[in-house]
Structure 1
Amino acid sequence: MLVDNGVNGDSRVQKTARSAADAGWDVVLLGRSPGSVPQTWRLGRAEVRLLAMPDPLARRRHEFRRAWLRWPLAYPPSGIAAHRQQSVKAWQADLTVRAAKLALADPATPRLALRRRLLGVEQAAAKLTRTWVSGRYWMLTRARTRRRFHNPWDRAYTLFWQKLKGDGAWRRLEPGLWDYELAYGPVVDELAPDLIHANDFRMLGVAARAKIRAAQRGREIKVVWDAHEFLPGLKPWQDNARWLPAHRAHEREYAPYADAVMTVSDGLAELLQREHRLATPPDVVLNAPAADHGELAPDAPAPDLRALCGVGPDVPLLVYSGAAARQRGLDVMVDALPQLPGVHVALVVNKPAGPYVTGVLARAAKLGVADRVHALPYVAHWQVVPFLSAADAGVIPIHHWPNHEIALITKFFEYSHARLPLVVSDVKTMAGTVRSTGQGEVFRAEDVADYVRAVRAVLAAPERYRAAYDRPGLLESWTWEAQAEVLDAVYRRLLPGRPGPVPADAGQPTTGADQTRPAVGAGT
């Protein structure tokens, strides 16, 4: 299995690895180490390896050059700017101590007045030097940050390579994709797998190229492409016009090498089949939570959500769980609080101290509701459902983006298994599901007044919405155990005749099911 992140925080990948290993497959999950040191641990019977991945190709050529015309005094982008800035700070720190020593000196000290005057001159020189260094450093920063890939030259550059190379244009437009190949490719070749499960678009290329190399050596590798999102519908992760065309070209070049495709929803399956002219629709493996976490749960009971927020059992508490970003709509939850007296909001997010959440909290302070907004970190994925169940309602206020319209996202299922009434924005698939099941209320995305209406409705009659979960078979169909059967069926269709599930007491690690580090993350 291949994934382009550090595994922790990606509950789908973690559950896929564990489930495949429990079904009898010999699983090695390769991810990217967040630092320069490789890491390894186990997820049940699956082995996790995080690879060190240098990424020099991710830097654009202009980042190595000086912007002589626009910022003539900027430092060269060699690291000298930080060195000079720190040197001046050290100089001033030394002058401060020397000035203190002279202030404490005996007035009878020889040439004391002269030494003080000379020190004053040196202090003035240091201050002037710091101003000069800061100005040059500022120019360097502006040269780096003001360069954008939306100008006519870059659009022409992108179009030129698209016309010349077709889908191969990604090699010029996004050469950083080769950094993944150079880190993962040799390890995949050494492992000599029978099947590669490639998570999302970056890993598709790594898997396809490994398949091609193996075929040249007379070995067959089956490739399963697990598409988590619809690439054409993504908001680019970088502020440049090359990112999306490059990644779409990369995906188109290597999609034909996938022997099977799976994805997260029926809507996304239809889009992928149409986009890549697939002969059959992708198999759907929902981002559903596990109903049983086996040996994990007793060892690590879930934290108390209300205790972390400092609220009692009778305080109305709304929860949002997942990634924090503007398009996730957290602002509407804060903007509504002045109209919802006594209601508290818990934001269980990937970066509770990140810039976006910090801005949300600043907005809460400006509105006078800071004491009712609580930013909390993720918990381990097997703790998510019991952790969230302490809230009165689960909120999904996402904006209208193509990928938001087509899937039931992870938090939808987590809220459902926590038996929470839902308050969701009117994105197509999720709104349709909530209306059909009766498990919550739908509001117009980014509409504070309509959000307030929906929250008041679910808080006024929560049991009415919770009753939807009593429908026979509803929650059972939304479990990872049901999805794992689809996953294993895909593998066995590609590689028939393989062994069945491993006995429960066979092949377990001797020091616990999950060694070195826990599997963390509420998912997105």
Structure 2
Amino acid sequence: MKRRVQLARDAVALGHESIARGYDSHCQDEIHDHAMAFGIFASTYALLGDRVRSQYMCQWLQNDAVKPNGATGWGLPFKWGAFSSDDKNSVTVVYGVTSALAIRGLIDYSSTFGADIPNCVVKFLDYYLQFFVETPEGGYFGYSDQPADLKSVFNVSSLLAGQYARAGKLLNRADYKRVARLVADDIMANAQSSPVGDFWSYGANIDRPNDAVHASYAVQGLIDVNRWLDTGYKLDLATRYLRKFVRNGRAFEYVRHGNLEPKLQQRPARAWGVGMLLYTACEASDKYLQGLVEAALPAYRHENGQYGILPASKVSYPRHQAHIALGLARSAKAEYSGAKMTKTHQPHIVSIVLNGVAGDSRVIKTAKSAEEAGFKATIVGMSKVEKVTKATIEGVNVVLVPSPLTDLQSRKMWPSDKDQRQLWMLVEGALKEILPVVKNLNPSLIHSHDMSGLRVGAAVTKFLAAGGKSVPWVHDLHEFVVGLTTVPENYRKSSVEYERRYLRQPDHLLTVSDRLAQEVQGIYHLRQAPTVIYNAPVARDVDPSEPDVRSVLGLPNSVPLAVYIGVAKKERGCETILDAIAQNSNLHICFVSDSGYVDQLQERALAHGMGDRFHRVPYVPTDQVSSFIRTADFGTHGLIHYPNGEVALPNKLFEYLQAGLPLVVSDVAEMKRFVEAYNVGAVFEAENAESCGAAMQSVIRDTELFRANITKDLTNKFSWQEQSRKIGDIYSDLLQKFRTNLRSKIVIGDGSANLDLLAQKMDISDTKTGVISVDQPEFACDFYANPTVLSDRAGMLSGLVSRYHTFLESFTF
């Protein structure tokens, strides 16, 4: 808290007589007094308890309130054209945003120090009522007091509504309250939903994105209306959207979504945006957003408490410095126990997977989601490297550890016969390399993946806790292990044993389909089903100039074309699909795949005498697949019936949807349910070529119906952006819980172990202890010991506080 107060005081240390006076990014050749800066500094000094300086700012605002033309309010000291650079307003124009921030400063002073609200506040609020326009949804305030500026700009209306609500409450003015509610209603009615949260364009008829400062204004005004009028608007999705302005420790001018140009996606936020994000985060009690912004702030600070307009810039302007100071002052008053203001404390998500990472789109996209949510992300993988190797794969930081396979093979402990191999040898060998690597990465959260990753995640979190570091653990179930009959039986048994031992220990479970989540919950009696994160692609707008499958193949639009993307295998029904195409002479099929199995399919096609209707295209980059296949007629998948297949929702289904293609799929349970629920294609009997061909013809015949059902809402729902939002929320919630979890609970497997624990002379006076059994599991615990399972040292949930680590090192069950 003292650190934040000092930073805030440093930000206003220039001297209150000159701090709001200076150049501006829109006027770099002349020094001016800036009303916006005076208003914000009035609020800042009030937050810091500095009555003298806050009063000085307010006195200037009162002296500047009345314009030569008799208008009351505040504006800009230079000519400005909000909607046209050719037609600029004079310096006597009253602007909504500037005036709202001035009013905030004046009322902040009055409320903090018990002074009367100045007359100029009421005069402005009465004056600006004439620039309120009522609409069917509610109403809005004009951008300025000029007729040409009487346009709906959401951030302007929102900030003004907040101050009308506040003054209405304090002065008991019903007319102020009424317009505040109408404006807030209008703004909420115009909210846009996206996978990353709720947001507003710049204005009702101005379809351009808000930058960081204006997006924060829009949310802050609604927060004020809620506070003063108890309107109860739900703003959690709006504040969640603000989090997306901070990514990987850096603040950006725009959120990455929609049709935003690539160059704008990487533009750093200006200082006033960073300051306002921080202020709004504190006002919304969004401690996570607060921590993100605080971690990004040091890049703007250069000397003597001054903040540059951009990172590493030494050019400071009063309006930008004021926003930073306001955010810091508000942060100093917020009770926050999260990250300190340094990038080294940015939460670090470490993902672990026992493969070479490259090509594992789910693992890579998940790590990118962590970065999108503002975290640092690293993937630890395993490959045929001679030593621990750092790499960058698809833009993500990766650390690869040596695979133990070479050593196992040299010792003749890894037979060529897969059925004779022992999976645990591979996993334990990899674990030996992974443990020190993960420790050095200093993770804030562990995210393990797939079957063997469960054992690794359990071991890593135990290892870290034994060293005094408690971190949350997320595990992602990629497969239905119990029903995975397509792998060697000894692999499956080992993986099932891992699930039996460790599946209840992660702090959060993820998986790939609703059916799989239900199956796992039922088998292992989980209190909560895993969260479903669909294997969906990133939704993006298609550039017509990008290559497409039909053009590459040289096929006219009149030729019906089916596509199959991804790994081709017999159990994926590829032969059935090919045979169905052979039986329907008007159809062509293209396999977009690098699988060696496609060679066998091509030979089968030649045997059918349909070589001219069989096509193959090599690997297409993940982010280009949907665009590439967009000119096909439908996408197909033919999984055969086996337990894991019944619960699968493969990523190719979502790739087809993003491309706008109807689906032709086999009748395995989850795929069938999905296609029929949304009516986006046809279903055929698995391994039945005749049924498959009939489904294909049905889709060609009714293609307009099925394509009409592939709506924007549907593709948004099943886009990676939507999945990414869920992942970011899970990380944030877990990290926040671990910050506030000050007490640890221990649950013991049987009575004798409990006695052994007490014999260690551990201080467990504030610790919950108890006895559990397989039939009556206890999930609300941080430590779980089951001495009845051989070779299974204590399974540990990662919430265990560090004071128990010496006990863990010495105690054996």
Q: Normalising by structure 2, what TM-score?
A: 0.45
Query: What does residue 77 of structure 1 align with?
Result: none
Q: How far off is 1:61 after superposition? A: 7.2
The residue aligned with 1:20 is 370
Mapped partners of 2:539, 2:582: distance in 1: 37
CA offsets 1:355-404 (integer angstroms, 9 cap, x no match): x2221111111111122112222211110111111111100111112222
TM alignment of 1:320-469, pairs within 5 A: 320-351=564-595, 354=596, 356-469=597-710
SS of 1:336's partner is helix
Q: Which has the higher contact order (CA 8 A, sep 6+)?
A: 1
Superposed CA RMSD: 2.7
Report the 3-state secondary structure (helix = DSSP H, G, I; strand = E; otherwise coil) of the residue aligned with 2:504.
helix
Q: Shift in Å at residue 487 of structure 1?
A: 0.7
2:445 to 180, 187, 195: 195
1:232 maps to which residue?
Answer: 482
Q: Secondary structure at the match of 1:360?
A: helix
1:215-226 to 2 correspondence within 5 Å?
A: 215-226=465-476
Residue 289 (structure 1) aligns with = 537
Q: Please name the residue that 2:512 is paired with.
A: 264
Aligned partner of 2:777 in structure 1 is none
Opposite residue 200 of structure 1, the aligned amino acid is D
Does the C-alpha gap of structure 1 residues 301 and 251 become closer, same or farther in structure 2, counting only changes over 3 Å? farther
Is the 8 Å Cα contact of residues 434 and 441 (structure 1) preserved in structure 2?
A: yes
2:548 is aligned with 1:304: yes
Aligned match of 1:313 in 518, 532, 557? 557
Shift of 1:302: 4.6
Distance 1:452 1:432 in 2: 20
Equivalent residue for 1:33, pick from 358, 361, 383: 383
Q: CA deviation at 1:235?
A: 2.6
Q: How many angstroms apart in 1 are the aligned matches of 2:454 and 2:478?
A: 12
SS in structure 2 of the partner of residue 446 of structure 1 = coil
Q: CA contact under 8 A between 1:302 and 1:384: conserved in structure 2?
A: no
Counterpart Cα distance in 1 of 2:469 and 2:362? 29
Looking at structure 2, the residues matched to 301 and 391 of structure 1 have their Cα atoms a distance apart, in angstroms, of: 16
Q: Secondary structure at the match of 1:261?
A: strand
The superposition leaves residues 459-480 of structure 1 with CA deviations (integer Å, 9 ceiling, x where unpaired) of 223212111113x622221111
Residue identity opposite 1:336 in structure 2: A
Q: What residue identity is the alignment partner of 1:469? A: I
Deviation at residue 256 of structure 1 after TM alignment: 3.2
* Cα pair 1:302 1:387 within 8 Å, conserved: yes
CA contact (8 A) 2:480 2:647 kept: no
Q: Structure 1's 362 and 482: CA in aligned 2 closer, same or farther, altered over 3 A?
A: same
> What SS does the aligned partner of 1:358 have?
helix
Return the alpha-carbon distance in structure 1 between the equivalents of residues 549 and 398 of structure 2: 30
SS at match of 1:442: strand
- Offset, 1:435: 1.8
**Stretches of structure 2 lacking an aligned partner (at least 5 in a row):** 1-350, 740-813
Q: Letter of the aligned partner of 1:313 in structure 2?
A: N
Aligned to 1:134: none
SS at the partner of 2:607?
A: helix
Residue aligning to 1:111: none
The verdict on how the C-alpha distance between 1:468 and 1:418 changes in structure 2, with shifts beyond 3 A counting, is same
**2:722 aligned with 1:478, yes or no?**
no
CA contact (8 A) 2:666 2:684 kept: yes
Q: Which residue of 1 aligns with 2:357?
A: 7
Give the secondary-structure state (helix, strand or coil) at the position aligned to 1:211. Answer: helix
Q: CA deviation at 1:187?
A: 0.8
Post-superposition shift, 1:63? 6.3
**Residues 21 and 259 of structure 1, relative CA distance in 2, 3 Å threshold:** same
Q: What secondary structure sits across from 2:547 in the alignment? A: coil
Residue from 48, 55, 77 that aligns with 2:405: 55
Q: Secondary structure of 1:174's partner?
A: helix
Residues in 2 aligned to 1:317 and 1:8: alpha-carbon distance in whole angstroms = 30
In structure 1, distance between residues paired with 2:562 and 2:473? 42
Q: Which range moved further: 445-454 or 308-317?
A: 308-317
Distance 1:32 1:174, change over 3 A: closer
Aligned equivalents of 2:610, 2:354: Cα separation in 1: 38
With over 3 angstroms needed to count, the CA separation of the structure-2 counterparts of 1:215 and 1:466, relative to structure 1, is: same
Q: Distance in 2 between matches of 1:480 and 1:392?
A: 23
Give the Cα–Cα distance (whole angstroms) in 2 for the partners of residues 396 and 187 of structure 1: 40
Counterpart residue number, 1:490: 730
Letter aligned with residue 174 of structure 1 = W
CA displacement at 1:43 relative to structure 2 = 4.4
Partner of 1:244: 492
User: Aligned AA for 2:661?
Assistant: L
| Cross-structure match for 1:163 | none
Of 369-378 and 390-399, deviating more is 369-378
* Aligned residues with identical type, % of pairs: 35
Aligned 8 A contact 2:383 2:401 in 1:
yes
Deviations 1:405-438 (A, max 9, x none): 2232211111111111111111112212222322
Distance 1:381 1:473 in 2: 22
CA distance in 1: counterparts of 2:528 and 2:642, whole angstroms: 26
Q: Is the 8 A contact 2:572 2:639 kept in 1?
A: yes
Q: Structure 1 length normalisation: TM-score? A: 0.69
Q: Determine if contact 2:548/2:628 at 8 Å carries over to the other structure.
A: yes
CA separation of 1:148/1:190 partners in 2, compared to 1, >3 Å: closer, same or farther?
closer
Give the superposition deviation at 1:350.
4.0
Correspondent of 2:433 among 171, 176, 183: 183
Distance 1:34 1:440, change over 3 A: farther
Residue 58 of structure 1 and its aligned partner are, at CA, apart by: 5.2
2:471–2:738 contact (8 Å) kept in structure 1? no
Contact 1:58/1:177 (<8 A) preserved: no
Change (3 A) 1:388 1:2: same
